[in-house]
Amino acid sequence: MLRVAQESPRQAEIETLLRESDAFSMALYPPESNHLLDVEALDRPEIRFFVARLERRAAGCGGLVLGDAGEAEIKRMIVTAPARGKGIGRAILGAIEDAARRERVRTIRLETGPGNVGALALYRRFGYRERGPFGAYRPDPLSVFMEKTLAGP
């Protein structure tokens, strides 16, 4: 049974998942092209952090960073390798978008890399479109910037 809920990132199981995500990103991109948030940053009040559990085990996670003026960013979305292909990414992204709507977010953005083919396909299926850099990001051929305008609740 799959369940996605808002949880604290300060759990050993989640920290392990984030280390796996770090290793995946570091294998694909140089440090200057990795824009990862650590557990400290993910545990701030303006972040809604979601964990997908499959048979009670963490199978994926993702965070929503609330910004100003109805904007937010998706960070640290990952699904464990053994859990891929089971709809977990769709469930996490759906939970993130539902939370964004409840928080009155109108524009949701993200940054990922061109080597993260599965994530790019998921975001495109959900209606995210490529755009230029935003916020503190700078142009980088190893970054893909995307956004989506959300409909009301």
Q: What is the pTM of this model?
A: 0.93
Domain boundaries, the chain: 2-149
Write down the pLDDT at residue 113: 94
Q: Based on the number of CB atoms within 10 Å of its own CB, is 110 exposed (0-12), middle (13-18) or buried (19 or more)?
A: buried
pLDDT in tens, 119-138: 999 999 999 999 999 999 99
CATH superfamily of 2-149: Gcn5-related N-acetyltransferase (GNAT) (3.40.630.30)
Closest-CA residue to 131 (of 111, 151, 105, 117): 111
Tokens of 47: 């972040």
pLDDT in tens, 34-65: 898 999 999 999 999 999 999 999 999 999 99
Q: Is the dihedral of CA 38, 110, 29, 16 positive or negative?
A: positive
Write down the pLDDT at residue 151: 78
